[in-house]
Structure 1
């Protein structure tokens, strides 16, 4: 994995091995994925639009990646595999394809904004179901909502990006089928941690992001049933999405091409396929479960630390734990962990404002998330750092600024650390501020 042994500067001038506990936001690329991308980059031919050998090779690589991604996600023979920029892009694409007149889109209040906001743009209406204290009761509420009025689509997360709790997809599909409703799964968090089979589960549509699944930035995918996708107007109007154009009219293509106008992201598609291939050979569940257990037990033993869960009866969860520390703002905790311990994680409301409001946490929480490169030592180091914070307080004074929480005495020089002109990287507190909202 790239960056596995990265050392980062601390506020007091020392350095430490970086502990990456922010996999839920963005996972580092796997070395095999980077190698695959480097092998493809020399074939810089125009995908689907050239007669030269590089163009033909690039076109073949792109379609091979499409086929591979479909296979890894258990796509049905007639499903479309459409490459997008990320999960948000894929969800917006599907939102534009939900047919009018077939009912609302129904979703839960636990969702990431990427699975809440796009449906407000759909031609149909939207309904948000408030979650109950138990998952079992929440599913009853979902069924009641689907039975109360027609619903075209049930849009649900595969795993919470806040707490890691996994939803029972086959049971959810069975509920939806009883009411003639299709199911969309936001698999951005689930796909890097669990195998997914669309055909076996019965899920109709699925979206995910490459950058959360150990591929570089900039590629995602929407996989699902062809009829809605072929009947809708193209997501982007432009070259590649057409069969014929006149000055007065246009005949649009069917299939994935219909929604992939412009020059395709060949490197992104190939990277995503390579990452999913690698993940299929690297089962994570047992390793992550052990790390999660260690962290929950360790944090649970510290006075004033509260871990978050949506439901009391969730049978499964990926390696994500959200928590609060009494007396300390989440942003301060995140800044302290970075500046004094070399630990990177997420603080804020995790693009899940309705859920954090239900938790009664208007300022958010802190989230640690594990991945392929995580070690037991990482969980133990976070526990020790939080225990030191609660027992001794931070060594630095931290000020809340327009750029987020910052240590008053910060000796970190990112330009020197990277050995290059990265003046823009000095604005990293802005990134923390952006993530907080």
Structure 2
């Protein structure tokens, strides 16, 4: 709880991941279709779909640079009917943009509206917002294993009503006519818990605290500037999302002119031993906007997907850095991408899969890895 800057009146509920945490909260708030939840087009699907399933969503649009302002948030909050909740990201998992979250929370609270922050991308890189009503984040984004996440909120929000999961460990008494639920957080954690995941998450939190936010932020800011400046200098590469005037994490989404995003990622992997993420990053509405796709484009891609052909599905490549990334890692990544961006045939041939859209190297791609290239894998983390 210290890591999240929370007090005795809050509880931390162990979940599998941020997706489950947000679904958990959407259920526990007992929303109806008459209730309005304000969220944004920047969100990960995990902070869009749960709210759309139980309530009426009102969306904050973003500009061509993939950002929105506090004024944009206020305009959405001030529409009628009054929202029950603002569900907003603490940092974009696509572009790395960090919204002015403290000012956004303040604006919502001035209007008597609670705020749920999806802190999955924020948690390992910046301190948690201290005034958010609800927080959710995942261990795997914080250098812990997969399978453990946390939902944090006021204890009173979970003291009444049926829990999200019903079963053993969440009850004081069960008979055929009555169930007496236990107090939160145990009330919300039915079933055998992921003890190993919880312990590992705790160790990760302790390690981040040991290193300290000043050191983490300084290290990642240097890498972010190096990464973004380097990408912008490569001919044919377009960096998506906010410019230097906006705060960002050490992550950047980009495209390479004339080359499918899946092929860029495949070549970085097979020829240079560098791992990156490609695609839409579970944020389709955001990607379509920062890529500048038209409704006709989207309709065509939707038709292709329905037919089982994902070869031309739009997307981008994302490179991201973390605690273990060095300036040398970034340099090696930029050097590799410079070669790829020339759009010349490489030493490996590839075949694109119709249904996944991914490119697979033909033959033994490991034969093409050099000793120096094999050291480059540390550049990118999901």
Shift of residue 411 of structure 1? 4.3
Change (3 A) 1:243 1:155: same
Match of 1:390 among 322, 341, 366: 341
**Contact conserved, 2:64 with 2:289, CA < 8 A, in 1?**
no
- Taking structure 1 as reference, are residues 91 and 191 closer, same or farther at Cα in structure 2, changes over 3 Å only? same
Shift of 1:251: 1.7
Per-residue deviation at 1:100?
3.5
Query: Contact between 1:155 and 1:186, CA under 8 Å: does it hold in 2?
Result: yes
With normalisation by structure 2, the TM-score equals 0.84
Q: Find the counterpart in structure 2 of residue 424 from structure 1.
A: none
Aligned-residue Cα RMSD (Å) equals 2.0
Q: Which residue of 1 aligns with 2:203?
A: 274
Mapped to 2, the partners of 1:266 and 1:137 lie a distance apart of 39
Report 1 or 2 for greater relative contact order, CA contacts < 8 Å, sequence distance ≥ 6.
1
Q: In the alignment, does 2:253 pair up with 1:253?
A: no
How far off is 1:133 after superposition? 4.9
- Aligned-residue offset at 1:280: 1.5
2:277 pairs with one of 343, 346, 353: 346
- Counterparts in 2 of 1:287 and 1:379: CA distance versus 1, 3 Å: same
Q: Does 1:408 align with 2:362?
A: yes
Q: Contact 2:234 / 2:338 at 8 angstroms: preserved in 1?
A: yes
**Cα distance per residue 1:170-225 (max 9 Å; x no partner):** 10111101211111111111111112253xxx110100000110111111000111
SS in 1 for 2:84: strand
SS at match of 2:191: coil
**What is the Cα deviation at residue 132 of structure 1?**
3.1
Quote the offset at 1:121 in angstroms. 2.6
Q: Select which of 104, 121, 131 maps to 1:172.
A: 104
Gaps of 5+ in 1: 1-69, 414-434
| Structure 1 segment 128-207 matched on structure 2, within 5 A | 128-133=59-64, 138-149=69-80, 150-198=82-130, 202-207=131-136
Superimposed CA distance per residue, residues 46-104 of structure 1 (whole angstroms, 9 cap, x where no aligned partner): xxxxxxxxxxxxxxxxxxxxxxxx11111121101100000001011001022447841
Provide the C-alpha distance between the structure 1 equivalents of 2:67 and 2:262, rounded to a whole number of angstroms: 34
Deviations 1:331-373 (A, max 9, x none): 0000000000000010000000001111236510000011111
TM-score for the superposition, normalised by structure 1: 0.74
Counting matched residue pairs gives: 340
| Partner residue in 2 for 1:374 | 325
Alpha-carbon contact 2:227-2:250 (below 8 Å) kept: no
Residue by residue over 1:265-286, the C-alpha shift from the partner in whole angstroms, topping out at 9 and shown as x without a partner, is 2211111111111111223111
Q: Return the offset for 1:227.
A: 2.4
- TM alignment of 1:36-435, pairs within 5 A: 70-100=1-31, 103-122=35-54, 124-133=55-64, 138-149=69-80, 150-198=82-130, 202-282=131-211, 283-310=215-242, 313-314=245-246, 316-359=247-290, 360=292, 363-391=314-342, 392-401=344-353, 402-403=355-356, 404-412=358-366
Task: Pick closer, same or farther for the CA change 1:135–1:385 going to 2, 3 Å.
Answer: closer
Check the 8 A contact 1:133/1:312 in 2, yes or no. no
Query: Where does structure 2 lack aligned partners over 5 or more consecutive residues?
Result: 294-312, 368-381
